[in-house]
Chain A
Amino acid sequence: MPKLLPLFEHAVKKPVWDCRMCGQCVLHSTGMTCPMTCPKTLRNGPCGGVREDGNCEVKPEMRCVWVKAEERSHSPVNPHHWEAEFNDLRPPVDNRLQGTSSWINLVTKRDRRTPAGWSGETLAEEPASIGAALVEIDDPTMLPAGFHS
């Protein structure tokens, strides 16, 4: 099932929203307009290049994704709490989730996980790094193969 679900999700969301399977869906807060279809994949509003007619800087024949999103967020059929979320600061995309099912990630709250620094936290300890591990190795022949090249 976990293998099939992304396929199924894509089959449903691709035709309607041109879903790019980022795995961390924010459609409800962006007027049901997928920000990943913005050529710059902006998640926090329109760039400064939007054309006078409201079309996209990059693709002049396409309406700017964020112009569309903003209009739709005020639509009477859009629930108010979704409209309010339009202005939320959305965190950077977790590129590891590309191609996974946002439905599963929503249920498991995996799509809410952000790097500690995003919420202003400073990690107490140095995270394990290869550099730190290396100083513990006395015998250079014990190094992983890649380090000799």
Chain B
Amino acid sequence: MSRLSDLLASGARPVVTAEFPSIDGGGLAAVERAADELRPFVDAVNATDNPAAHAHASNTSIAIGMLQFGLEPIMQVVCRDKNRLAMQADIMGASLFGVENVACLTGDDVTAGDEPEARRVFDLDSTQLIKVASGLAEGHYLSGRAIKEPPALFVGAVENPFAPPLDYRVLRAKKKAEAGARFLQLQIGYYPERPEAFVRGCVEQGVTQTTALIPTVVLTKTARALTFMNDSVPGISIPAEMIERVAGAGDKDAVAEASYQLTLELSQHALSLPGVSGIHLTDFRHDGSLERLVRDLGIGPAFDPVATVAGTTAV
């Protein structure tokens, strides 16, 4: 099975996943550059699927490209743009090249993107997609048509413990776990008490017995970035004191440092929660802070004994 699933099953250490930057042209060299930057520090990386409803090089192409450059992909599949036939075909197609990790998402609405005129599809919802993808690995399409040599898939999803109705989010995570999600990347969030309550609930409901929880943190450099996320990104809300703390830190460098410290604190807090199996990093800084963060946290392939996990990435 995928390295991600093996690592999670072994429980040897928290996993580190990250977001691959959007690629718009530049050939495979662009994919290689981004892969080189991330490879030493992460276990697997999300190949996004038209994030925030903006078109980019596709999830399948990026996932396959990553494999070529020795990076393990987690292929996101969102329900917004394609119907059930196309989504099954994408997962099956990518699996031919060795893409095993699949994350099933609802997807931001088209109105969040730069082509709000687009038709929204949502033929399946994310929970249904989890079940359909799991069925592919079991050897059948949704129709029941047999797949003689089923693909090895490690199916997961995303959940947002920060969005209302807060009490219900645990049950939704449970529903996704029961549908077949073996990992849940958690949405970016800045209220530490919310993932705390969510993770506790997931442990109580038995979700963590089958499903790994991986909270997300974001590396930002300015207070404006926080304000932007708070105002414009669906499902993300940031306490005003936090934004003020960063904004009031002083000059540009001091603000950048305060932003980093905030991310570090949120990461440490998330990793300290029983039931959390790793961390997902979104890097908007691209200034070496990702490396600094995994070093400060002391996790990731860079810290593994040579030849166990780190060695397997080289192709």
Contact = CB atoms under 8 A, between A and B. Distances in A.
Interface residues of B, number: 46
B160 interface: yes
B165 interface: yes
Interface stretch (B25-33, B140-148, B284-292): B140-148
Given A92-B142, A117-B140, A50 B120 contact: no
B187 interface: yes
B164 A92 contact: no
A123 B112 CA distance: 40
Given A45-B175, A57-B234, A117 B168 contact: no
B135 A120 contact: yes
Contact of B135 (A47, A54, A117): A117
B74 to A, nearest CB: 17
B165 A46 contact: yes
Interface residues of A, number: 40
A67 interface: yes
A48 B128 contact: no
B106 A48 contact: yes
B12 to A, nearest CB: 30
Contacts of A50: 160, 163-165, 235
Nearest to A43: B125
- Which of B109, B138, B141, B174 has the most C-beta atoms of chain A within 10 angstroms of its own C-beta? B109
A7 interface: no
B124 interface: yes
A99 interface: no
A66 B175 CA distance: 15
B165 A70 contact: yes
Contact of A92 (B84, B174, B178, B235): B84
Interface string A51-91: 11110011000001011001100000000000000010111
Interface string B122-150: 11111110011001001111111110000
